[in-house]
Structure 1
Amino acid sequence: MKLKLLYCFIFLLVQFTASATDVIDLKGKVVDAKTNEPLAGATVSIPDLRLAVATNLNGEFTFRSIPQRGRFVVQVQYVSYKSLTQTIDLSSQAPLVFALQPSVIEAHEVVITGTPITAGSKYNSTSATVVTKDQLQGSSTNLIDALAKQVPGMSQITTSQAISKPVIRGLSYNRVVTLNDGVKQQGQQWGDEHGIEMDQFSAGRVEVLRGAASLQYGSDALGGVINVIDPPTPAEGNIAGEVLTNYSTNNGLSNTSVMLSGNENGFVWRGRGSYQNAYSYNTPAGRVINSGFNQTNASGMLGVNKPWGYSHLNFSYYKNNIGFLDAEPGDPLYNTSTSRTLDFPRQDIRHYKVALNNNFLFGSSSLKLDLGFQKNQRRELEETTTPNLFFDMNTYSLDAKYYLPESNGWHPVIGVSSALSHSVNLGEELLIPAYDEFSIGAFVYLKKAWDKNTFSAGARYDFISNKGKAQNNAEGEPIFTGFDNRFSNVSGALGFTHIFNDDLSFKANAGTAFRAPNPAELGSNGVHEGTTRYEIGDPNLSPERSYQADATLEYGSGFVTGSFGIYENYIHNYIYASNTNKEQTTVVGEDGQSRSYDTYRYGQVNANLYGFEGNLTLHPVSFIHFENTFSYTHAQNETFDRPLALIPAGVLHNTLRFEPKVKRIKDFYFYAGIDNFFRQGRVDETFETAAGGYTLLNAGIGATFNIGKQPLKLYVSGTNLTNKAYYDALSRLRPGRFSQEDPTFGIYNMGRNITFGVYIPFGTNR
Structure 2
Amino acid sequence: MKKFSILGFILLCQVFVFAQQSQLNGRVLTSNGTAVFGATINISPAAKTLNSNTNGTFIYDGQIGETLTINISKEGFLKETRTLTLKNAQQILTIKLAASSYLLNEVLIKDNRIENLQKEQSLNVEVVNADFIQRNLGGSLMKTLERLPGIKTIGIGSGQSKPLIRGLGFNRVVVVDKGVKHEGQQWGADHGLELDQFAAGEVEILKGAASFMYGSDAIAGAINVKPTRAPAKHSLGGNVDLIGKTNNNLYGTSVNLFGRNDRYFFDSRFTYQNYGDYRVPTDRVSVYNFQVPLDKNYLRNTAGNENGIHLSAGILGEKFNSIFYLNNVFSESGFFANAHGLEPRNVDLALHDRSNRDILLPKQQVNHFKLINRSDLQLNNHKVEIELGYQRNFRQEFSQYVNHGYMPAIFPENFGIPRDTEREFDKNVYSVNLKDKFELGKHQLSFGGNVEYQDNSINGWTFLVPGFKQFTSGAFVYDQLQLNEKTILHGALRYDYGRIKLNKYTDWFASTLNDGSTQNLVRADDLTRNFNSFVWSVGINYNPEKFIFKANIGKSFRMPIAKELGANGVNYHYFSYEKGDPTLSPEKSYQADATIGWKEKNWSVKFSPFYNYFPNYIYLNPTANYDYFYGAGNQVFEYAQSEVMRYGGELQFNYQISKFLSTEVLGEYLYAEQLSGSKKGFTLPFSPPPSVLFNLTYTPKDHQLLIDTYFSVDYRITATQNNIVPPERKTDGFYIINLQVGTKLHLYKQPLMISLQAQNLLDTKYMNHTSFYRLIELPEAGRNIILSLKIPFNLSHTQN
Whether TM exceeds 0.5 here: the answer is yes
> Once the 2 structures are TM-superposed, how far is the Cα of residue 645 of structure 1 from its aligned partner?
2.0
Q: Which residue of 1 aligns with 2:427?
A: 393
Q: Is the 8 A contact 1:27 1:62 kept in 2?
A: no
> Once the 2 structures are TM-superposed, how far is the Cα of residue 562 of structure 1 from its aligned partner?
2.7
Secondary structure of 2:658's counterpart equals coil
2:626 equivalent to 1:584:
yes
1:529 aligned to 547, 565, 572, which one? Answer: 572
1:610 aligned to 647, 650, 664, which one? Answer: 647
**Whole-Å Cα distance in 1 between the matches of residues 76 and 614 of structure 2?**
52
Specify whether residues 366 and 689 from structure 1 end up closer, same or farther in structure 2 by C-alpha distance, changes over 3 A only: same
1:693 aligned to 715, 728, 733, which one? Answer: 733
**Whole-Å Cα distance in 2 between the matches of residues 444 and 24 of structure 1?**
29
2:632 aligned to 595, 604, 610, which one? Answer: 595
> Once the 2 structures are TM-superposed, how far is the Cα of residue 294 of structure 1 from its aligned partner?
0.9
> Once the 2 structures are TM-superposed, how far is the Cα of residue 139 of structure 1 from its aligned partner?
4.3
2:298 equivalent to 1:287:
yes
**Whole-Å Cα distance in 2 between the matches of residues 312 and 27 of structure 1?**
15
Specify whether residues 600 and 559 from structure 1 end up closer, same or farther in structure 2 by C-alpha distance, changes over 3 A only: same
2:226 aligned to 212, 224, 229, which one? Answer: 229
**Whole-Å Cα distance in 2 between the matches of residues 718 and 689 of structure 1?**
29
1:312 aligned to 288, 301, 323, which one? Answer: 323
Residues 673-712 of structure 1 mapped to structure 2, 5 A cutoff: 673-684=714-725, 686-712=726-752
**Whole-Å Cα distance in 2 between the matches of residues 135 and 336 of structure 1?**
36
Q: Which residue of 2 aligns with 1:749?
A: 780
* 2:497 aligned partner, one-letter code: F
Q: Which residue of 2 aligns with 1:212?
A: 209
* 2:739 aligned partner, one-letter code: A
> Once the 2 structures are TM-superposed, how far is the Cα of residue 511 of structure 1 from its aligned partner?
0.8
**Whole-Å Cα distance in 2 between the matches of residues 284 and 29 of structure 1?**
52
Deviation digits for residues 267-304 of structure 1, max 9, x if unmatched? 12111111111111111121111112211111111211
Deviation digits for residues 32-85 of structure 1, max 9, x if unmatched? x9xxxxxxxxxxxx9999xxxxxxxxx96689xxxxxxxxxxxxxxxxxxxxxx
Specify whether residues 661 and 423 from structure 1 end up closer, same or farther in structure 2 by C-alpha distance, changes over 3 A only: same
> Once the 2 structures are TM-superposed, how far is the Cα of residue 530 of structure 1 from its aligned partner?
3.2
Q: Which residue of 1 aligns with 2:789?
A: 758
Deviation digits for residues 415-457 of structure 1, max 9, x if unmatched? 1101000001122222111111001110111111123111110
Specify whether residues 336 and 134 from structure 1 end up closer, same or farther in structure 2 by C-alpha distance, changes over 3 A only: farther
State which structure, 1 or 2, has the greater radius of gyration over its C-alpha atoms. Answer: 2
Specify whether residues 215 and 266 from structure 1 end up closer, same or farther in structure 2 by C-alpha distance, changes over 3 A only: same
Residues 435-514 of structure 1 mapped to structure 2, 5 A cutoff: 435-449=468-482, 450-474=484-508, 475-501=519-545, 503-514=546-557
> Once the 2 structures are TM-superposed, how far is the Cα of residue 568 of structure 1 from its aligned partner?
0.6
Deviation digits for residues 573-632 of structure 1, max 9, x if unmatched? 111112232x322445xxxxx623232211111111100102111111121111111111
Q: Which residue of 2 aligns with 1:157?
A: 154
Specify whether residues 93 and 461 from structure 1 end up closer, same or farther in structure 2 by C-alpha distance, changes over 3 A only: closer
**Whole-Å Cα distance in 1 between the matches of residues 451 and 32 of structure 2?**
37
Secondary structure of 1:642's counterpart equals coil
Specify whether residues 173 and 27 from structure 1 end up closer, same or farther in structure 2 by C-alpha distance, changes over 3 A only: closer
2:612 equivalent to 1:569:
yes
* 2:525 aligned partner, one-letter code: T
Deviation digits for residues 344-377 of structure 1, max 9, x if unmatched? 1011111111111111111110111011111011
Secondary structure of 1:359's counterpart equals strand
For normalisation by structure 1, the TM-score amounts to 0.83
Q: How many residues in Structure 1 have an aligned counterpart in Structure 2?
A: 668
Q: Which residue of 2 aligns with 1:84?
A: none
**Whole-Å Cα distance in 2 between the matches of residues 611 and 317 of structure 1?**
38
Residues 554-565 of structure 1 mapped to structure 2, 5 A cutoff: 554-565=597-608
2:369 equivalent to 1:352:
yes
Q: Which residue of 2 aligns with 1:417?
A: 450
Secondary structure of 1:580's counterpart equals strand
Q: Is the 8 A contact 2:194 2:368 kept in 1?
A: yes
> Once the 2 structures are TM-superposed, how far is the Cα of residue 733 of structure 1 from its aligned partner?
1.2
Q: Which residue of 2 aligns with 1:548?
A: 591
2:773 aligned to 722, 733, 739, which one? Answer: 733
* 2:667 aligned partner, one-letter code: F
Q: Which residue of 2 aligns with 1:433?
A: 466
Deviation digits for residues 244-276 of structure 1, max 9, x if unmatched? 111111111123111122221311211111111
**Whole-Å Cα distance in 2 between the matches of residues 176 and 670 of structure 1?**
34
1:134 aligned to 127, 131, 134, which one? Answer: 131
**Whole-Å Cα distance in 2 between the matches of residues 309 and 496 of structure 1?**
33
**Structure 1: runs of 5 or more not aligned:** 1-21, 34-45, 50-58, 64-88, 99-105, 113-118, 589-593, 739-745
**Whole-Å Cα distance in 2 between the matches of residues 94 and 266 of structure 1?**
17
Q: Is the 8 A contact 2:126 2:205 kept in 1?
A: yes
Q: Is the 8 A contact 1:416 1:441 kept in 2?
A: yes
Specify whether residues 372 and 27 from structure 1 end up closer, same or farther in structure 2 by C-alpha distance, changes over 3 A only: closer
Q: Is the 8 A contact 2:272 2:306 kept in 1?
A: yes
Specify whether residues 329 and 392 from structure 1 end up closer, same or farther in structure 2 by C-alpha distance, changes over 3 A only: closer
> Once the 2 structures are TM-superposed, how far is the Cα of residue 663 of structure 1 from its aligned partner?
2.1
Q: Which residue of 1 aligns with 2:258?
A: 261
List structure 1 segments (4+ residues) > 6 angstroms apart after TM superposition: 25-30, 46-49, 93-98, 329-337
Secondary structure of 2:633's counterpart equals strand
Secondary structure of 2:212's counterpart equals helix
Deviation digits for residues 514-565 of structure 1, max 9, x if unmatched? 0000011110111223333221111100011111001001232221123111
Q: Which residue of 2 aligns with 1:71?
A: none
**Structure 2: runs of 5 or more not aligned:** 1-28, 41-52, 57-74, 80-91, 102-108, 283-296, 402-417, 509-518
* 2:532 aligned partner, one-letter code: S
Q: Which residue of 1 aligns with 2:753?
A: 713
* 2:541 aligned partner, one-letter code: T
> Once the 2 structures are TM-superposed, how far is the Cα of residue 308 of structure 1 from its aligned partner?
2.4
Q: Which residue of 2 aligns with 1:648?
A: 688
1:661 aligned to 701, 711, 716, which one? Answer: 701
**Whole-Å Cα distance in 1 between the matches of residues 179 and 304 of structure 2?**
28
**Whole-Å Cα distance in 2 between the matches of residues 616 and 569 of structure 1?**
24
**Whole-Å Cα distance in 1 between the matches of residues 254 and 427 of structure 2?**
28
For normalisation by structure 2, the TM-score amounts to 0.79
**Whole-Å Cα distance in 2 between the matches of residues 473 and 302 of structure 1?**
47
1:196 aligned to 184, 193, 196, which one? Answer: 193
